[in-house]
A = this chain, B = another copy of it.
């Protein structure tokens, strides 16, 4: 912790939810945040119980986010929350983010940003109008070795980038869990709560954000094949996309939740004229660099040869693995740093205060729509417009 402890409220994340607990651990990790308020569940009993388990003051546990926001606004500045974490199913992201921003509170939202691009644009408008920070949990951007990868590409280690391939391979939706009582599966495959995309929205957005973030290139056109393998499922569970990036780079994106037996296989490979990199989320502390004219190198979190922008994202010496919660913690730390400095949009890329925000959110939602448009189209290429922003 490098300053005043900030106060966090949480929307969603009642008992039994997955990502809410991760947010709480990530926020607690470095001592930058204290959870002080919540609207954890639309079920009042469950909401209350969660607040008790977390040791919160019952007066700051509310049945709706609106009640919470009203209560917090009424409190004196030193006591009032500094930000709202939104960890609900997707259909609540936009209304809740807009409500919080409109009430003057910064937002750290789960991804995808919203149900569709129009909603995302409404959030962006609210954020600009309120001049409040809006951060998005593209967690994988928080890994130190993702920053190392980005920094290496940016400083030209590999020369001009030619190839960008990203994949996000899961298997947990291989069977119709969504019709067998699994809550996580249920809402993620329900268009009314998940939005336009299934695997596409849930993990394809992560893959896309990572590809653009690390390569520093924007996608300009794509050609997509979108499939639902499990009978009766209403949203896609498998997406394959050809990508054309700026400056002539070419690649593919693969996102699937029906690769039976796979866990959480997010992997990116980028090659330029002189060499390339590979990073895999399941062994996040290793970045492999390959070179045209010399042996491959294994760059390790905490080891020699790291870029200056990677170092502030590390907590332990090399060989003491940091993981998913720590990556998440880096985003919370960055948001805290930004808020303490009153910098509503975060630091520059690579700086400790940088976090994914409006731009990542809008581009990923535009990507979801472009992929679905391509999937419906007979045209080979769907142009992927730069956002007017």
Q: Which of the 9-residue segments A61-69, A114-122, A293-301, A349-357 touches chain B?
A: A293-301
Q: A304 to chain B: closest CB distance in Å?
A: 5
Docked-complex contact A296 and B294, CB < 8 angstroms: no
| Measured CA separation A42–B301 after assembly (Å) | 32
Residue of B nearest to A21 (CB): B315
What interface size band does chain A fall in?
Answer: 35 or more
Residues of B with C-beta under 8 A to A225: 223, 242, 244, 250
Residues of B with C-beta under 8 A to A28: 28-31
Residues of B with C-beta under 8 A to A18: 317
| Measured CA separation A17–B359 after assembly (Å) | 38
Per-residue CB contact flags for chain A residues 170-181 toward chain B (1 = under 8 Å, else 0) read 111011000000
| Measured CA separation A281–B296 after assembly (Å) | 18
Per-residue CB contact flags for chain A residues 302-343 toward chain B (1 = under 8 Å, else 0) read 111100000000011111111111100000000000000000
| Measured CA separation A2–B53 after assembly (Å) | 7
Docked-complex contact B25 and A55, CB < 8 angstroms: no
Asked if A380 is at the interface (CB within 8 A of a chain B CB), the reply is: yes
Contacts A21-B315, A225-B250, A276-B259 given; does A174 touch B292 at CB 8 Å: yes
Asked if A367 is at the interface (CB within 8 A of a chain B CB), the reply is: no
| Measured CA separation A298–B291 after assembly (Å) | 11
| Measured CA separation A175–B299 after assembly (Å) | 21
Residues of B with C-beta under 8 A to A321: 281-284, 321, 323-324
Per-residue CB contact flags for chain A residues 261-277 toward chain B (1 = under 8 Å, else 0) read 11111000101111110
| Measured CA separation A219–B290 after assembly (Å) | 33
Residue of B nearest to A175 (CB): B292
Docked-complex contact B240 and A251, CB < 8 angstroms: yes
| Measured CA separation A326–B25 after assembly (Å) | 10
Contacts A250-B227, A380-B377 given; does A282 touch B162 at CB 8 Å: no
Can you list 30 A-B pairs with a CB-CB distance of less than 8 A? A1-B55, A2-B53, A4-B55, A5-B55, A24-B31, A28-B29, A31-B55, A162-B229, A162-B238, A163-B259, A165-B254, A171-B271, A171-B290, A225-B242, A240-B251, A242-B242, A252-B254, A260-B272, A261-B275, A261-B296, A263-B318, A264-B319, A284-B321, A298-B298, A315-B325, A322-B325, A323-B323, A323-B326, A325-B325, A325-B326
Which are the 3 A-B pairs with shortest beta-carbon distances?
A264-B319, A261-B290, A263-B319
